[in-house]
Amino acid sequence: MKLTLNDIQLMVLSMIALLVTLGSLLYVTFNAPDSLRKDKDGIPFFTSKVINPDTGEAMSISSLVVHYKEGMK
């Protein structure tokens, strides 16, 4: 099978699209900005739960931070 100019152009454009896509995904994976790692209060998204000192129940750190921020106002 002989490649025509149209086939070569399509192959080149497909390779460019593939490289841009892979490069973007690698960049976001390894050099992710802090906004993709932490919420607005600076808490990492994947944080384990903590024990509430009053009730002994497990609670999210986000709710704990909100509780203390409201208390400071």
pLDDT the model gives residue 73 = 58
Q: Are 37 and 45 in contact (CB under 8 A)?
A: yes
Q: How far is CA 13 from CA 17, 26, 50, in A?
A: 6, 20, 51
pLDDT the model gives residue 56 = 87
Domain boundaries, the chain: 1-31, 34-73
Q: What is the 3-state secondary structure (H, E, C) of the chain?
A: CCCCHHHHHHHHHHHHHHHHHHHHHHHHHHCCCHHHCECCCCCECCCCCEECCCCCCEECHHHHHHHHHHHHC
pLDDT the model gives residue 72 = 62
18-73 pLDDT tens trace: 999 999 999 888 887 777 778 887 888 788 888 887 888 888 888 888 877 877 65
pLDDT the model gives residue 68 = 79
